[in-house]
A and B are shown apart, each in its own frame.
Chain A
């Protein structure tokens, strides 16, 4: 079964750090770009970051640039998001997502994880 499973969310104080993980199974993880998308409670989807298949190229939304780092371990079929200097506005459900093999669209994601909640509060 094709699956993405996120973990690592939780409650963290402003200025703190958290590392999210996304375990992939059922598809050839190492051949796909991977993305992180977040959604604050009751709000819309917001793209966070992406990484290419071998990890050599990364892109970030301006809102997280310099604070978040996306990485991957293809041997472990796992995607990561290291989040530093966290702010209240980073509170959201974080999803990892991957594009479909049948589309080259840069904004098409057909596999999503269940999401992991990050709450930044004192």
Chain B
């Protein structure tokens, strides 16, 4: 049972816009920044969004992040086949004094 809650799966067709939610509490998302990771099959995670809505250099602007209260979202517009991957949200938790992750969302491009 992960501290942050994500839907286990999401899907969309090429060109569509999909969103993935990440729900937490006041001790994590409510008081700290959220980061998102993309994990392609058999590879290490890659930082996709940091500080709630910032993209590292090289990440396409098709990817965007937002946060409101104790929830966060990752949006992918203009969906492409190479976006098929697992997506994980993460935040620091003040009560647990550690990093907490969501359970991950498997995105399928139909």
Pair B54/A45 contact, Cβ less than 8 Å: no
A44 to B86 alpha-carbon distance, docked (Å) = 9
Chain B residues near A15: list those with CB within 8 A. Answer: none
Pair A105/B51 contact, Cβ less than 8 Å: yes
- How many residues of chain A are within 8 Å of chain B by beta carbon? 26
Pair A45/B96 contact, Cβ less than 8 Å: no
Chain B residues near A43: list those with CB within 8 A. Answer: 103-104
Shortest distance in angstroms between A99's beta carbon and chain B's nearest beta carbon?
A: 9
Mask: chain A, 28-49; 1 = CB below 8 Å from B; 0 = not: 0000000101000001111100
Is B60 interfacial (CB-CB < 8 Å)? no
Pair B96/A44 contact, Cβ less than 8 Å: no
Is A103 interfacial (CB-CB < 8 Å)? yes
Pair B92/A95 contact, Cβ less than 8 Å: no
Chain A residues near B34: list those with CB within 8 A. Answer: 107
A105 to B54 alpha-carbon distance, docked (Å) = 11
Is A100 interfacial (CB-CB < 8 Å)? yes
Chain B residues near A35: list those with CB within 8 A. Answer: 99
Chain A residues near B102: list those with CB within 8 A. Answer: 44
A45 to B101 alpha-carbon distance, docked (Å) = 6
A48 to B65 alpha-carbon distance, docked (Å) = 25
Question: Which residues of A are interface residues toward B (Cβ below 8 A)?
Answer: 35, 37, 43-47, 50, 59-62, 95, 100, 102-103, 105-110, 112-115
Given A45-B90, A108-B51, A114-B44, 9 new contacts (CB under 8 A): A44-B101, A44-B102, A47-B90, A47-B99, A47-B101, A95-B44, A106-B32, A108-B47, A109-B35
